[in-house]
A and B are shown apart, each in its own frame.
Chain A
Amino acid sequence: MAAPVPWACCAVLAAATAVVYAQRHSPQEAPHVQYERLGSDVTLPCGTANWDAAVTWRVNGTDLAPDLLNGSQLVLHGLELGHSGLYACFHRDSWHLRHQVLLHVGLPPREPVLSCRSNTYPKGFYCSWHLPTPTYIPNTFNVTVLHGSKIMVCEKDPALKNRCHIRYMHLFSTIKYKVSISVSNALGHNATAITFDEFTIVKPDPPENVVARPVPNNPRRLEVTWQTPSTWPDPESFPLKFFLRYRPLILDQWQHVELSDGTAHTITDAYAGKEYIIQVAAKDNEIGTWSDWSVAAHATPWTEEPRHLTTEAQAPETTTSTTSSLAPPPTTKICDPGELGSGGGTLTPFSIGVPVTLALAAAAATANSLLI
């Protein structure tokens, strides 16, 4: 008699466990996805449960306090970004999962910022856009390009997701282009458009490979060379003109030169011995606007090697490693004091640094001799 009872007991227990297990882990339908606006209030019902059903809510696996409940519904006030997550409600006693909500807190989109530019004239132009403030939820953008009444294709950029490219079919058009963009997400929608003439959006990329070199035996010259931007497709028929600016690092005032042709220029009024910063910009000869400034090139004009030094003046040479960090450009050699007065053909309006260097050299020499 004793044997069947434990058997039955085990069987029932096993079955109950199986049911509970099944109920707890049965494949639920996918969580309901819900988007709500930042700052708003939301009430999440527990699926089809009655208002007075006894349920427990959890967010991302963590229990929620019962004071947030209104019956079986979860009430959240003043939604913040941190409220985003997976909300689940369970039957309080059986822990049966009744409902799941994947909540995303975000904002409807503001008016997008759209701009178009042609850096590959006459091949085509591109438009790029962005939202002035984030929405925190996914957005979809839709761009349309109209030339008069004709719709043009805007091909998505392979790398950047907020850019697309349009190819010119016709040049020298009097009809404006109109580019419209609409953005929408689960919480709202917005749009904007811009209209422009073919010529007004032309803006090349900056010149490339700007190199500045000193000119041997010319202490006031610097030779600057650069290349037309590689994105400009046809410099022969659509030549570029260039704008060069330069200044010594220690001054704020730029010097400017405009060049209507060629990709080289020699600066002839550089201050001797001073390090210069040089930049170049490009523009189509007739239309559009100037490019951004190129990457800066640095150079210092050629300076004369010091003449044969006496043993006295030679001592500083062994300690140049300690003084060079304080001296201005590395190519400035510590001169024989006798040379300063004659000038040696160099103009040094900024001679403040030199006496300091000499004093340091003297001090270093003394220190050196002490070490020996």
Chain B
Amino acid sequence: MDLRAGDSWGMLACLCAVLWHLPAVPALNRTGDPGPGPSIQKTYDLTRYLEHQLRSLAGTYLNYLGPPFNEPDFNPPRLGAETLPRATVNLDVWRSLNDKLRLTQNYEAYSHLLCYLRGLDRQAATAELRRSLAHFCTSLQGLLGSIAGVMAALGYPLPQPLPGTEPTRAPGPAHSDFLQKMDDFWLLKELQTWLWRSAKDFNRLKKKTQPPPAAVTLHLEAHGF
């Protein structure tokens, strides 16, 4: 894909529009329906896999951004990046979320985040970095599909985007290079936090929809965690 300057934002908006109108992945083979349990487990596993992948991707990307972004105790105030979906939530509110809302919030968050991630494809980035980003985007796409599958299995409708709320990287007034990097920093941070949150969200869903499990094997070991 050859992105020219003027086309890039239009291309991005188009991509995002495509994503939002993604048809729901047909969930499960309904014969002998084991319920949404296995696909919730699969979604949980995907969040763990993605979190693991993100760790190395974020490390590489922050090094590319350079100091201070790659310093461990870098602690900037949260300015800008207002349109990023925030994982942070009041404890009691989070606890009392019903399943539909819980799943919807996850789905919407990752849709937004994926959109922003695709826009992270900078010209100065190395080919290696672009490859890692593309791979991660594909995995994140898989997670979205998995969440959509769970929602379909539970009979919840997929969230439809409201007109005018499509996330785009506003080309607006001169967004300095430094501010752009700050936005990248917060994107990665928010993505990591969402993946941690999703693991907890899907844990909660697992317990509520599954019958008490029999002996659970060490399935996480296979991913080398």
A interface list, Cβ under 8 A from B: 122, 148-149, 168-176, 178, 195, 199, 236-239, 258-262, 285-287
Contact = CB atoms under 8 A, between A and B. Distances in A.
Contact of A174 (B73, B95, B193, B215): B193
Contacts of B190: 174
11 contacts: A148-B78, A169-B90, A172-B196, A173-B87, A199-B196, A237-B207, A260-B218, A261-B216, A285-B199, A286-B48, A286-B199
A285 B189 contact: no
A239 B94 CA distance: 16
A172 B203 contact: no
Interface of B: 48, 51, 73, 75, 77-78, 86-91, 94-95, 186, 189-190, 193-194, 196-197, 199-200, 203-204, 207, 213, 215-221
Contacts of A199: 196
Interface of A is mostly: loop
Contacts of B200: 172, 237-238, 286
B90 A237 contact: no
B203 A171 contact: no
A178 B87 CA distance: 20
B218 A176 contact: no
B221 A258 contact: yes
A216 to B, nearest CB: 21
Shortest 5 CB-CB contacts between residues of A and residues of B? A261-B216, A172-B87, A172-B197, A173-B88, A286-B199
A238 B199 CA distance: 9
B113 to A, nearest CB: 13
A170 B51 CA distance: 21
A175 B207 CA distance: 29
B189 A260 contact: no
A201 B147 CA distance: 29
Nearest to B189: A174
Given A259-B218, A260-B220, 19 more contacts: A149-B77, A169-B90, A171-B88, A171-B90, A171-B94, A172-B87, A173-B193, A174-B78, A174-B88, A174-B189, A175-B88, A237-B95, A237-B203, A238-B203, A239-B203, A261-B213, A262-B216, A285-B199, A286-B51
